[in-house]
């Protein structure tokens, strides 16, 4: 698999690492490989969950300001 040639340690940003973890896990799942690394997908999940809630808070704050 092509993604196995990339080491997550080579990736600089948290966004790149989260995307890599998500894509790597999806590729392994699609190829029916059972040796999934749950720490990799958990790190991606945590990143995107924090990102989602911070975006949601930002939009709520912006909506409050625009109603004034």
Residue 41's closest CA among 27, 15, 26, 22?
22
Q: Tell me whether residue 35 is in a domain.
A: yes
Q: Tell me whether residue 31 is in a domain.
A: yes
Model pLDDT, residue 56: 63
Q: Tell me whether residue 9 is in a domain.
A: no
Judged on CB neighbours under 10 Å (0-12, 13-18, 19+), 47 is: middle
Q: Tell me whether residue 42 is in a domain.
A: yes
As given in the structure block, the two tokens for residue 10 are 């080579």
Count up the domains in the chain and report the number: 1
Q: Tell me whether residue 18 is in a domain.
A: yes
Range of the domain at 32: 14-66
Q: What is the DSSP letter of 67?
A: T
Q: Tell me whether residue 8 is in a domain.
A: no
Return left, alpha or beta for 32; rule: phi > 0 is left, psi -120 to 50 is alpha, else beta: left
Q: Tell me whether residue 4 is in a domain.
A: no
Q: What pTM was estimated for this model as a whole?
A: 0.65
pLDDT for 19-64, tens place per residue? 988 988 888 888 888 777 788 889 899 998 887 877 666 555 555 5
Q: Tell me whether residue 28 is in a domain.
A: yes
């Amino acid at each position: 698999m092509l993604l196995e040639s990339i080491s997550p340690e080579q990736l600089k940003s948290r966004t790149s690492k989260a995307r890599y973890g998500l894509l790597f896990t999806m590729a392994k799942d699609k190829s029916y490989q059972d040796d999934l690394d749950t720490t990799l997908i958990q790190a991606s999940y945590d990143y995107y969950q924090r990102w989602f809630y911070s975006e949601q808070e930002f939009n709520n704050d912006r909506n409050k300001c625009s109603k004034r």
